[in-house]
Structure 1
Amino acid sequence: MPRRTLLALASVIVLSTNVPAVAQLLPGGPGLPTLPSAGLPALPDATGRLDRIEGAARRLTPELLAAARLDRLRDLVRAQPRRLDIDELGQPVVRGEVLAVSPDPASLDAARAAGFTVLRSQTDPELGVALVALAPPKGVDVRKAVARLRQTDPSGTYDYNHIYLDAGGAAPAPVAAAPSGEGAAIKVGLLDTGVDARHAAFAGVRVEQRAFAGSTRASVHGTATAALIGAGKGGQILVADVYGDGKAGGSASAIVAALGWMAASRAPVVNISLVGPPNAALAAAVRALSARGCLLVAAVGNDGPPRRRSIRPPIPA
């Protein structure tokens, strides 16, 4: 049975179980009026049945949330089979690309000798992080390509160009006009989609946007996140649109470039509204930006862990 169907079935069972509702009243307060019975048939051992269902729901909910996210990722890859692929854990990646993180000349020579070619390179002087995108030899998929480079050059750092998704739900709440005059004027960075800078929430706030995946495209999620952050009247929000209208928006290489802009702009605080796996290129950029004294705040996502975790993801072996 599909996991989504199982979750829906559990909800129906819970709602249909004939268990009396208990109201919490303040001491000394008036009682509630007696309501007529709904006339539902009595079920044997209703309380025990409910306890078992709730226990199963607590055990399955994290698994179902993770499964729902994997379904979303698979749909994304199916929609763009020529541009996207998956890693060994089912996470979406840019097809036919391996990222070499700050490789030395010897590492690049070894990669070329193994049949890899350089697609492009980007170096950020502010972060001190260089990325070189390598194309695998013909007929070698990206999973085998990453494994081959790590085996050929154990001292080098190679990873996928992972794709990161936004941390919000499918139907974000409407954007409310926030009082921009409250609080001190500050500079805040945001990695998300584009923002509708004409919205009333940004009255008196300077919104500067830059695209890192095609052209900037505003969305409700990006606009709502920027409005919640606020910058105070006279403040500034630096919006790095890592999605834009690009076919492979939200890539690790785009995020690293956006973090380089945050470093060059001296943003003291940066919010990252993205969800995805650990990535060596992203980890290197985050460490470099954190070392400059920048505070990075990242969402764990709707299916993320319930406890706080470090912004610094581990580098895969």
Structure 2
Amino acid sequence: MKIPLIITATAYFYTTSVLANLVPVEQVIQQLNPIEQRIESSINRNQRLPKIIPQTSVAELKKQVSQPLQHLPEVVNIKINNQDNALVDVEVENGFRAIQRQWLLMANAEQLSALKQHDVTIIAVKNYSALGMSLVRFNVAENIDSKAQLIKTLNLTDPSLLDRNHIYQAQTSSTTLTDPAAYLPQPFCQHSTQIGIIDSAVNKQHRAFTDASIVSRRFLPDGLSSPALHGTAIAGLLVGKSNKLTPLLANAKLYSAEVFYRQSEFSQGATLFAIVEALDWLTQEQVKVINMSLTGPDNAILKTSIAAAIKQHSLIVAAAGNEGPAAQPLFPAAYQSVIAVSAIDNKNQLYRWSNNGDYIDFSALGVNVFTALGNGEFGKESGTSMAAPHVSAALSCLLIKHKNNKANALAALTSLAHDLGEQGKDSRFGYGAIYRPKSAL
């Protein structure tokens, strides 16, 4: 994001106020000014859900979690009921993945008319009123299946209007069944909050969600269901409750946008098209904080969609990624307008697979995190996916406390961070770690 840029871009929408026991907003903003200019340009711009299984072995669960992209073959046919193809998931440039020869174009009527004159197959034309944009989804012939060739063929003057229908990955790396001694830390707050997740389905029959308020909507092709794995773990952190699990948010309404499909036994993917639809829905519902525990390539359509959601008063929190400290930046976390979160363990050591970079804003607990599992049990998960909800939850509470004043909420979040590593903001922990509070905010 980077924090001061969002403060700059949104402060005029709100009045000012700040917690008496926090660092004054003016002081925080002054400390952050050296990077304030970095965000302004970006802002302008019938598979059923798995049955609940009483007993599942660790080995079986390990088959269900994400693994690096190189574990997938070059072409993966995503089928409905093991028969008809719903999607063809392929490897593209730089080792990322996308729907085979499928592109998205932000087009007006004139551009749509011009597009129809070329060797393309238009799949859908859709207007996203909440985001203020229209998208054409289309397939192309193999000989023009590159951005450079399409820009030339379509005579586009603005390359940011076009990009592949890329696929984004869940960012949880391991699962361990566990039955820990009861440990019930505080939720971040008791306020009635709203929070959104763009993720896989949530197993709402899990006993952790007996009293939870969860509204779900799916954004997948007809007949293709979302596995209730990753999303259940994220929802478990945010709103799950048992005698051994305290939610990060005590009284939240969770909006669950289902975008992930099963790529294999080891990984889950979400198309850019589904992510855009999810962002539009959550924006329509006026959800103020959206958690995106997923990563993938830089994409012009994703960047524009996120900027549009932020202009409509949402804040986006994203997992930094589990590719390791030397990995290239992953998105959406690396966008200037997004709050990027790395993962630490309970000894404040950085998770060894956590991405590093100057785009990291905060860190949070993401190693051996106790939560609900998709199979109906409880266990521990690791990855930057597990860290991001802690920051999302804290921000949701601070927005309530500061009467939806984004500037003050973001400044308060920064003042809550415990500085780790190098003094000040750094490429591993950002401004520092966000811990569960000893008492509710």
Shorter-chain TM-score tier: 0.5 to 0.7
Q: Which of 117, 126, 131 is the matching residue for 2:130? A: 126
> Which residue of the partner structure matches residue 147 of structure 1?
148
CA drift of 1:179 comes to: 6.8
Identify if the C-alpha distance between structure 1 residues 205 and 168 changes in structure 2 by more than 3 Å, giving closer, same or farther: same
CA drift of 1:217 comes to: 3.4
CA drift of 1:309 comes to: 3.8
Where is the strand percentage greater, Structure 1 or Structure 2? 2
> Which residue of the partner structure matches residue 69 of structure 1?
68
Identify if the C-alpha distance between structure 1 residues 189 and 305 changes in structure 2 by more than 3 Å, giving closer, same or farther: farther
**How many residues end up aligned between the 2 structures?**
240
- Are residues 1:89 and 2:101 paired? no
CA drift of 1:204 comes to: 2.7
> Which residue of the partner structure matches residue 202 of structure 2?
195
More off after superposition, 221-230 vs 275-284: 221-230
Separation in structure 1 between the aligned mates of residue 199 and residue 277 of structure 2, nearest angstrom? 13
Q: Which of 169, 173, 177 is the matching residue for 1:169? A: 173
Identify if the C-alpha distance between structure 1 residues 173 and 99 changes in structure 2 by more than 3 Å, giving closer, same or farther: farther
CA drift of 1:243 comes to: 1.6
Separation in structure 2 between the aligned mates of residue 198 and residue 179 of structure 1, nearest angstrom? 22
> Which residue of the partner structure matches residue 300 of structure 1?
320
Moved over 6 A (4+): 172-181, 245-248
More off after superposition, 121-130 vs 216-225: 216-225
More off after superposition, 228-237 vs 122-131: 228-237
- Are residues 1:223 and 2:232 paired? yes
Bigger RCO of structures 1 and 2 (CA < 8 A, at least 6 apart): 2
Q: Which of 239, 256, 264 is the matching residue for 2:256? A: 239
Contact kept? 1:205, 1:232, Cα under 8 Å: no
Where is the helix percentage greater, Structure 1 or Structure 2? 1
- Are residues 1:250 and 2:270 paired? yes
Contact kept? 2:238, 2:249, Cα under 8 Å: no
Superposed counterparts of 1:263-278, under 5 Å = 263-278=283-298
Separation in structure 1 between the aligned mates of residue 229 and residue 89 of structure 2, nearest angstrom? 25
Identify if the C-alpha distance between structure 1 residues 84 and 199 changes in structure 2 by more than 3 Å, giving closer, same or farther: closer
TM-score, structure 2 normalization: 0.48
Contact kept? 1:164, 1:251, Cα under 8 Å: yes
Give the structure with higher Rg (CA): 1
Identify if the C-alpha distance between structure 1 residues 188 and 154 changes in structure 2 by more than 3 Å, giving closer, same or farther: same
Query: SS in structure 2 opposite 1:154?
Result: coil
CA drift of 1:154 comes to: 2.2
Identify if the C-alpha distance between structure 1 residues 180 and 216 changes in structure 2 by more than 3 Å, giving closer, same or farther: farther
Unaligned runs of 5+ in 2: 1-66, 79-86, 240-247, 339-441
Amino acid at match of 1:260: D
Identify if the C-alpha distance between structure 1 residues 85 and 79 changes in structure 2 by more than 3 Å, giving closer, same or farther: closer
CA drift of 1:170 comes to: 4.7
CA drift of 1:77 comes to: 3.5
Amino acid at match of 2:322: N
Amino acid at match of 1:91: F
Q: Describe the superposition over 1:274-305 as per-residue Cα deviations: whole angstroms up to 9, x where unpaired.
A: 11001111111100111122111000121165
Separation in structure 2 between the aligned mates of residue 263 and residue 219 of structure 1, nearest angstrom? 23
Contact kept? 1:178, 1:228, Cα under 8 Å: no
Give the RMSD, CA atoms, in angstroms. 3.2
> Which residue of the partner structure matches residue 242 of structure 2?
none
Contact kept? 2:200, 2:228, Cα under 8 Å: yes
> Which residue of the partner structure matches residue 115 of structure 1?
119
Q: Describe the superposition over 1:115-165 as per-residue Cα deviations: whole angstroms up to 9, x where unpaired.
A: 22322112110111211012214x42522xx32221221235111000111
TM-score, structure 1 normalization: 0.66
Amino acid at match of 1:155: D
> Which residue of the partner structure matches residue 76 of structure 2?
79
Separation in structure 2 between the aligned mates of residue 290 and residue 175 of structure 1, nearest angstrom? 40
Q: Describe the superposition over 1:177-199 as per-residue Cα deviations: whole angstroms up to 9, x where unpaired.
A: 99799432211100111111232
More off after superposition, 272-281 vs 75-84: 75-84
Identify if the C-alpha distance between structure 1 residues 279 and 304 changes in structure 2 by more than 3 Å, giving closer, same or farther: farther
Query: SS in structure 1 opposite 2:270?
Result: coil
Separation in structure 1 between the aligned mates of residue 286 and residue 178 of structure 2, nearest angstrom? 31
